[in-house]
Amino acid sequence: MSEPRLGVAIVTMGNRPRELNALLKSVAEQDVAPVRLVVVGNGTPLPEFPAHPGEVTVIELDENLGCPGGRNVALRRLREFGDVDVAIELDDDGLLVDPGVFRTVRDLFAGDPRLGIAGFRIADETGGTQRRHVPRLRAGDPMRGGPVTSFLGGGHAFSMRMLAETGEWPAEFFFTHEETDLAWRALDAGWTIRYEPELLLQHPKTSPARHAVYYRLTARNRVWLARRRLPLPLIPVYLGVWTLLTLARTRSPAGLRAWAAGFLEGLRTPCGERRPMRWRTVWLMTRLGRPPVL
């Protein structure tokens, strides 16, 4: 395969201008330059950016479409250009501390025509990686890469051919579990997902519960995910496992009430097109160490 051409997509709500400028500077310092760079203001106007080697395409949305909705806008623009083979999406408060990240991305996709998604390693300023940022059940060693069943939304690279086949982000999810929906579709279509620790994105240590809608959307989107992507016998198993885990882990009564409301919302509201994965995909995920009930 010839060397793929890279495009970069960044979505921001406009509340991290210093971090965004630092990220753009780190993109400019990569030893393999992207052919396109798109920055989406998700319901916010954007300032002029510092000088950057290469044109920055700026898109300002009138409303916040959520993480997946904003990313879809960026990916569509990259697709319209017609000269991007691999799209790299980065959180606006991330930082590329290694100038060879894009070269590694290019080489990974050049070496495997069925690589659909390459997931980055997320680490804070001290080099620590949170357990939830390692996309496998055995998360003790964040430096162990290889095939996985999911990826991190904060830093990843997509094959544009894969996206054309599987479809884009589920915008209706707005926040949480959109990665899982896309990952399951990719695996079911025969694409590989790889977690590659050499692809480092430095990112502040955070908790997803910092967002006010976390508990409600987490519950709603898990139900939607099960209804959309799982074979019927696995739906109650998946939801039962996650209900027990939530009850065991959540210490906030208000959080549990919001979670219960979201769970009911997921049962009562339309979830989008149902396209359950094949049983061979269930078996593949099981062999990779994460069956689609966990």
> CATH no. for residue 125?
3.90.550.10
Q: Give residue 203's pLDDT.
A: 93
* pLDDT value of residue 54: 63
Q: Are residues 200 and 216 in the same domain?
A: no
Please state, in angstroms and rounded to a whole number, the distance separating the CA atoms of residues 275 and 184. 10
Name the band, by pLDDT with cuts 50, 70 and 90, for residue 50. Answer: low
Cα 79 to the chain's mean position, in Å? 18
pLDDT at 49: 74
pLDDT band of residue 137 (cuts 50, 70, 90) is: confident
Q: What is the mean pLDDT of residues 270-291?
A: 96
Residue 47 lies in a domain: yes
pLDDT in tens, 65-89: 999 999 999 999 999 999 999 999 9
Q: Is the pLDDT of residue 32 over 70?
A: yes
Same domain? 69 vs 178: yes
Report d(CA 292, CA 294) in Å as an integer.
6
| Average pLDDT in the chain | 93
The most confident of the ranges 1-5, 159-163, 204-208, 254-258 is 159-163
**Which of these three, 164, 182, 206, is where a domain ends?**
206
pLDDT at position 51 over 70? no
This prediction's pTM: 0.94
Assess if residue 213 is contained within a domain. yes
**What is the predicted pLDDT for the residue at 1?**
58
Of 108-117, 127-136, 214-223, the least confident? 127-136
Query: What is the percent of the chain with per-residue pLDDT over 90, rounded to a whole number?
Result: 84
User: Residue 183's pLDDT is what?
Assistant: 98
Residue 276 has what DSSP assignment?
Answer: P
- Which is nearest to 185 in space by CA: 150, 160, 157? 150
Q: Is 171 left (phi over 0), alpha (psi -120 to 50) or beta?
A: alpha
Confidence of residue 44 (pLDDT cuts 50, 70, 90): very high
Residue 53 has pLDDT above 60, yes or no: no
Which distant-in-sequence residues (6+ apart) come within 8 Å of 182 by Cβ?
A: 117, 166, 169, 170
Q: What is the mean pLDDT of residues 265-275?
A: 97
pLDDT at 207: 60
66 and 98 together in one domain: yes
Q: Are residues 101 and 183 in the same domain?
A: yes
Per-residue pLDDT band at 140 (split at 50, 70, 90): confident
Whether residue 218 is found in the same domain as residue 79: no
Q: Could you give the number of structural domains in the chain?
A: 2
The pLDDT of residue 141 is: 87
Q: Is residue 233 part of a domain?
A: yes
Q: Are 75 and 153 in a shared domain?
A: yes
Asked whether residue 274 carries a pLDDT value surpassing 90, the answer given is yes
> CA torsion angle for 187, 192, 193, 197 (degrees, to 10)?
170
Structural domain of 67: 6-206
Say if CB 187 and CB 283 are below 8 A apart: no
Which pair of structure tokens corresponds to residue 193?
């997902």
Q: Is 33 among the domain residues?
A: yes
pLDDT-derived band at 245 (thresholds 50, 70, 90) equals very high
The pLDDT tens digits of the residues spanning 167-221 come to 999 999 999 999 999 999 999 999 999 999 999 999 988 666 555 589 999 999 9
Strands 36-41 and 6-12, sheet pairing = parallel
